[in-house]
Structure 1
Amino acid sequence: MIDRAVAGRDQPATTLLGPGDDAAVVRAPDGAVVASTDMLVQGRHFRLDWSSPEQVGRKAVAQNGADIVAMGAWPTSFLVAIGCPPTTPVAVTDALTAGIWAEVAEFDAGVIGGDMVQAEQLVVSITVLGDLGGHAPVLRSGARPGDQVAVAGRLGWSAAGLAVLLAELDGFAELIAAHKVPRPPYRSGPIAARAGATGMTDVSDGLVADLGHMCTASGVAVDLDSALLEPGPELAAAAEALGADALDWVLTGGEDHALVATFPADVPLPEGWRRIGSVLAGEGVLVDGRSRAGGGGWQSFD
């Protein structure tokens, strides 16, 4: 299975020694390495009656890559660990690894190693290494009162796609596709860092939830402007069909892996970024100046 996963695959120049030995060896040209890891568990994070193995592989890489670019860095190397039942068809693992490699190619990065084990259900765990290119990382703790809050990428699409799938509603193919394979705005992370972003994070659990982490780390409050978060026609149509609140998807829906960042008020927002609110003195996330009732997003433990 490992041979099938790595045969004929190219490695970037940062990989000095790839799969095949006890460990890989990679370059760290910046002198610092940015690292993150995430895990997807069948039945909890994906369903194979909804998503193809290739889509699961792409999703696993995307959520890790988003973490790295949210630091202002760029992914260079991925370590992949897969657990599966012994009855898993080879076609499934081939498609899974094909999806992993396809998404890794978005970064011109490499899969440098990993592990495969027997498990009761399909599990994919990925660790990613990234390069800052000589720049300081952009942290969650850098937001300051007076900053503007901006977002790059889509909000609420994955949550809407999940709602459509759960309701077994016909149509809305774009929303369903967004749930199966997120499309993070990868290049917007390093662009924001070079443009002077003071704080940044990816929206994995929900806009309110992830901005809440930034508020806590920075010791500030954020006030979101709902008029600047107006759901697009795709979300509005799905919400009408389901009797749901499209703005709620925008505020609390996770797994789009959009990027949200803070910038000084006098800094022009770079291409691909749009303003959605302001940083204030205080604590917590407000919407139109008011505290929002209800949860802010995904909880790993119910």
Structure 2
Amino acid sequence: MTLTVAQLSESELLARIFPRLHAGSSMLLGPGDDAAIIAAPDSRTVISIDTQVQDKDFRLLWPNGSTSTGYDVGWKAAAQNLSDINAMGASATAIVLSLTLPGTTPVSWVEQLAEGLSAAIVALGAPQCSVAGGDLSGGSEIVVTVAVTGTLEGRDPVLRSGARAGDQIAVCGNMGFSAAGWALHESHVPAQDFTPGLARAAQLFARPEPPLAAGVLAARAGATAMMDISDGLLRDATRMATASGVGLDLDRAVLSRVAEELIEPAQLVGVDPLVWVLTGGEDHGLLSTFPANTPLPGGFIRIGSVWSLGAAEVAVTIDGQNFEGTVDGALGWDHFAV
């Protein structure tokens, strides 16, 4: 018989979670007191927060028969938060976690979540980041909220508002794979029938791989603006362009070459793979701008240029033209879209 959280007290459940949480070098006092104590090597603290909600951000059972394991959800919770700190040119120091759980949730699922969270911190390259504690509550659906702190270590933050006319636009990390993985999970193609190419897209949706070393490298290389691509390249580029008061023009040929990696899943579900590259979120790559003559750090590819924006002009274009062909007319992920 499966043990559920309703069969344990809060203290008993915490006793199963705590040993599975990663303790990095930043933690001076960990779980157990009213609050944790984290070392602050810089006088400034970078902080961000993200939430995953059952049946909005993940499904326990997908239409194609796949499941979201606790490990997957824990991994993604770490990845999306660490990526936000990375996008500021900072390094993560600590994570705190809030869990809302229905009483029917298997205890093993919660244990796996703690293990996935900790595994991602180490595997993605942020071993100094500690899981410092959190909170438990009951509810009708699973909700996983993670807040993360970081340090700039004496560097200036890289903001999304710093792009200037004449800069080059570059990206680092995967693009479109998470959207492809989502589409495969929502399809009726069983996971056991996936080819290696399809399985890779499904895996990168469940466990994104943000390039955590790239944020600091970009900051050191003189990046003028930077942000995490969490809601799709077009939507996030528009946010950067708006914040910076400039226009961003993307190179279709380069992005089309990126999209070639997604041809197999795109053909299966009947989508133009370029649409996934432009509008798919949750790969958590980095969108950055650099001065025109700056050599790009390793892993970055140039995808366009920044120009002065006229009053009546569109903030983001592709080869100078508006993009046509989005999925259901959407430029990217919107939490409140129907």
TM-score (normalised: structure 2): 0.87
Moved >3 Å (runs of 4+): 231-234
Q: Residue 322 of structure 2 corresponds to which residue in structure 1?
A: 291
Instruction: Output aligned runs, 1:1-16, within 5 Å.
Output: 1-7=13-19, 9=21, 11-16=23-28
Higher mean displacement: 152-161 or 3-12: 3-12
Q: Residue 71 of structure 1 corresponds to which residue in structure 2?
A: 88
Q: Residue 44 of structure 1 corresponds to which residue in structure 2?
A: 56
Identify which of 85, 90, 93 aligns with 2:110: 93
Deviation at 1:17, TM superposition (A): 1.1
**Equivalent residue of 2:219, what SS?**
helix
Structure 2: how far apart are the matches of 1:46 and 1:295?
19
Q: Answer whether contact 2:45 2:149 (CA < 8 A) is retained.
A: yes
AA at the equivalent of 1:65: L
Instruction: Output aligned runs, 1:152-301, within 5 Å.
Output: 152-169=172-189, 170-171=193-194, 172-230=198-256, 231-282=258-309, 284-293=315-324, 294-301=329-336
Judged with a 3 Å threshold, the aligned counterparts in structure 2 of structure 1 residues 289 and 240 are, in CA distance, closer, same or farther, namely same
User: What are the superposed Cα offsets for residues 137-174 of structure 1, whole Å, 9 maximum, x if unpaired?
Assistant: 00000000000000001110011111122122342101
User: What are the superposed Cα offsets for residues 194-242 of structure 1, whole Å, 9 maximum, x if unpaired?
Assistant: 0000000011000000011100100000000010112344411222222
**Equivalent residue of 2:212, what SS?**
coil
Structure 2: how far apart are the matches of 1:183 and 1:92?
22
Structure 2: how far apart are the matches of 1:145 and 1:40?
36
User: What are the superposed Cα offsets for residues 242-267 of structure 1, whole Å, 9 maximum, x if unpaired?
Assistant: 22110000000001001110000010
AA at the equivalent of 2:317: L
**Equivalent residue of 1:140, what SS?**
coil
User: What are the superposed Cα offsets for residues 17-59 of structure 1, whole Å, 9 maximum, x if unpaired?
Assistant: 1111111111111110000000000110011223211011000
Q: Answer whether contact 1:175 1:234 (CA < 8 A) is retained.
A: no
Judged with a 3 Å threshold, the aligned counterparts in structure 2 of structure 1 residues 251 and 89 are, in CA distance, closer, same or farther, namely same
Instruction: Name structure 1 gaps, 5 residues minimum.
Output: none
Judged with a 3 Å threshold, the aligned counterparts in structure 2 of structure 1 residues 165 and 203 are, in CA distance, closer, same or farther, namely same
Deviation at 1:11, TM superposition (A): 2.4
Instruction: Name structure 2 gaps, 5 residues minimum.
Output: 1-12, 62-66
Structure 2: how far apart are the matches of 1:224 and 1:129?
32
Q: Answer whether contact 2:20 2:118 (CA < 8 A) is retained.
A: no
Question: Is 2:164 the partner of 1:133?
Answer: no
AA at the equivalent of 1:42: Q
Percent identity for Structure 1 against Structure 2: 47
Instruction: Count residues in correspondence.
Output: 302
Higher mean displacement: 38-47 or 159-168: 159-168
Question: Is 2:38 the partner of 1:18?
Answer: no
TM-score (normalised: structure 1): 0.97
**Equivalent residue of 2:226, what SS?**
strand
